């Protein structure tokens, strides 16, 4: 288990290093203004769908269904064609009506800004069908316990965007956004190509080819399997996408605030997402195939044993990250972004947002882990109910905090709703099972270690402020 987690984490770290290089170059080139807002808006919609598919619903419904399928090749071919068809139709509609799509994402933009952003929204949306192909192939690789390609391949997107920034040097800000938009599409092509190579090397191409070859003849044999998959998928989308929908609503509401607010949320969320992806998502991806198999074989005790090990591994890492990210938020933002067009005021505003996000890192990360149990047990409807309550709580707090706190209020609303979602997930998982996990000496080590770590970081912060 831990080998897979470390492979995932190292690959994600590798990708995120390039991601931060990309972000600091973007911050330097565009700063936090209307053009940076336009690019982040344009990339927001396909990225929202990517996170829902890649880090959530598709994988967590597909793997258990794929494991149970008696005709795996035909099953995967059918699911692939259905979803790709829907995504291609959606992509074509967005390209035919880009102004409408832009207005749907950023209602607060005026007519002139919508017209300016629409072409970039259309270009960026072609990333979605590409990344669905990547997600589909990565799910098959996960089934074979191969995680490295998916973990490392995100770097290809970041490298593509870095190249776009270098090629657009000395261009106008509008042209920089144009280069970045095509960089997103090229990055998607490179990711898809990398996954296709891995599929070929593991011999999975034969399974895929056979599935498409026999799809027409054997489609009736998988009717019950595909019907069951579709019934589970839509609740799973809703159940697993609350953080992504909240982030989407962040952008929607931030479009009514001062220019740069969308960018503050983006830059802060990028920092926040590092430990979340590095530890929580990496652990969940590595653990899920094993948990699903044990539960399928009715070995709940073994599944819970793996979950308990992962829980404490994750809790220690996320707690340290949360404390460090909150205390050193200003220094981290300054180090990564304050140069070029990104001012000291932008650093201050981004810091406030980052601190509000960091408060919710632990519950959000642990919720991802506990949701594995619900999805392995095929409790998608329960996860959907939790997501609905969580989202309602986010909307209430976001609307309440938007005026007094601005962009940081939106981040705090996400954090509060994250605590609500975590509490409901613990209840669905089983309070007795949860207490059996947390009732051991690790809890004492966590409290003592957190206090010592906090004191050390405060001293370290005071020390480095002398030299900054």
- Residue 67 clears pLDDT 80, i.e. is over it: no
Percentage of the residues of the chain whose pLDDT score is greater than 90: 19
Contact 241, 380 (CB under 8 A): no
pLDDT at 14: 78
pLDDT digits (tens, 9 = 90+) for 51-62: 666 555 677 677
Name the pLDDT band for 75 (thresholds 50, 70, 90).
confident
Q: How far is CA 373 from CA 117, 367, 369, in A?
A: 41, 10, 8
Mean pLDDT of the chain: 82
- Residue 1 clears pLDDT 60, i.e. is over it: no
Whole-number Å distance between alpha carbons of 412 and 355: 9
pLDDT at 336: 81
Name the pLDDT band for 7 (thresholds 50, 70, 90).
low
Higher pLDDT, 393 or 223: 393
Whole-number Å distance between alpha carbons of 63 and 402: 39
In degrees rounded to 5, what are phi and psi of residue 99? -65, -40
Contact 197, 60 (CB under 8 A): no
Q: What would the mean pLDDT of 455-465 be, rounded to a whole number? A: 83
pLDDT at 56: 58
Entry pTM = 0.70
| 104, HSE (Cβ side, Cα atoms, 13 Å) | 9
Question: Over the range 254-283, which residues count as b (16 or more CB within 10 Å of their CB) and which as e?
Answer: bbebeebbbbbbbbbbbbbbbbbbbbbbbb
> Within 147-241, where are the H helices?
148-167, 173-201, 204-213, 215-218, 223-240
Tracing tokens 């949306």 back to the chain, one arrives at 125
Q: What would the mean pLDDT of 374-401 be, rounded to a whole number? A: 86
Tokens for 254, please give them: 């931030």
Q: What would the mean pLDDT of 37-61 be, rounded to a whole number? A: 69
Name the pLDDT band for 256 (thresholds 50, 70, 90).
confident
94 CA to centre of own chain: 22
pLDDT at 40: 78
Whole-number Å distance between alpha carbons of 339 and 143: 44
Whole-number Å distance between alpha carbons of 220 and 226: 10
Question: Over the range 137-148, which residues count as b (16 or more CB within 10 Å of their CB) and which as e?
Answer: bbbbbbbeebbe
Contact 380, 232 (CB under 8 A): yes
- Residue 373 clears pLDDT 90, i.e. is over it: no
Whole-number Å distance between alpha carbons of 119 and 117: 6
């Amino acid at each position: 288990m831990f080998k897979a987690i470390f492979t995932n984490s190292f690959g994600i770290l590798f990708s995120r290093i390039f991601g931060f290089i990309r972000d600091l170059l973007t911050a330097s080139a565009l700063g936090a203004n209307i053009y940076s807002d336009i690019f982040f808006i344009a990339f927001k919609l396909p990225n929202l769908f990517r996170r829902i598919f890649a880090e959530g619903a598709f994988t967590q419904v597909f793997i258990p269904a794929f494991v149970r399928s008696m005709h795996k090749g035909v099953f995967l071919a059918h699911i692939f064609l259905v979803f790709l068809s829907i995504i291609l139709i959606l992509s074509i509609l967005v390209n035919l009506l880009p102004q409408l799509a832009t207005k749907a994402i950023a209602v607060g933009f005026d007519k002139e800004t919508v017209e300016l952003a629409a072409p970039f929204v259309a270009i960026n949306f072609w990333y979605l069908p590409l990344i669905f192909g990547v997600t589909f192939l990565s799910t098959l690789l996960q089934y074979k316990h191969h995680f490295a390609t998916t973990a490392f391949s995100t770097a290809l997107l970041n490298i593509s965007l870095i190249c776009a920034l270098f090629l657009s040097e000395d261009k106008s800000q509008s042209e920089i956004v144009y280069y970045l938009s095509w960089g997103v599409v090229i990055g998607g092509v490179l990711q898809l190509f990398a996954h296709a190579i891995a599929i070929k090397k593991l011999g999975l191409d034969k399974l895929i080819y056979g599935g498409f070859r026999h799809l027409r003849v054997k489609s009736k044999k998988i009717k019950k399997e595909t019907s069951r998959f579709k019934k589970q998928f839509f609740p799973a989308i809703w159940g697993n996408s609350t953080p992504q929908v909240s982030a989407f609503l962040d952008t929607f509401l931030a479009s009514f605030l001062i220019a740069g607010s969308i960018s503050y949320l983006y830059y802060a969320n990028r920092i926040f997402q590092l430990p979340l992806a590095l530890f929580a998502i990496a652990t969940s991806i590595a653990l899920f195939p094993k948990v699903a198999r044990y539960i399928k074989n009715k070995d709940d005790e073994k599944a819970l044993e793996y979950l308990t090990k992962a829980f404490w591994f994750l809790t220690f890492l996320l707690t340290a990250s949360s404390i460090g990210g909150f205390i050193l938020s200003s220094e981290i933002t300054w180090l990564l972004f304050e140069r070029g067009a990104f001012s000291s005021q932008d650093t201050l505003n981004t810091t406030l947002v980052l601190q509000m996000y960091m408060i919710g890192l632990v519950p959000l990360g642990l919720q991802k882990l506990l949701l594995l149990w619900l999805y392995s047990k095929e409790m998608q409807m329960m996860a959907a109910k939790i997501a609905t309550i969580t989202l309602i709580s986010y909307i209430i707090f976001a609307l309440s905090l938007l005026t007094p706190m601005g962009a940081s209020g939106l981040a705090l609303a996400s954090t509060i709703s994250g605590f609500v979602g975590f509490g409901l997930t613990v209840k669905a998982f089983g309070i007795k099972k949860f207490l059996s996990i947390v009732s051991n000496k690790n809890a004492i080590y966590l409290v003592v270690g957190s206090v010592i770590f906090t004191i050390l970081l405060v001293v370290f912060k005071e020390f480095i402020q002398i030299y900054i």
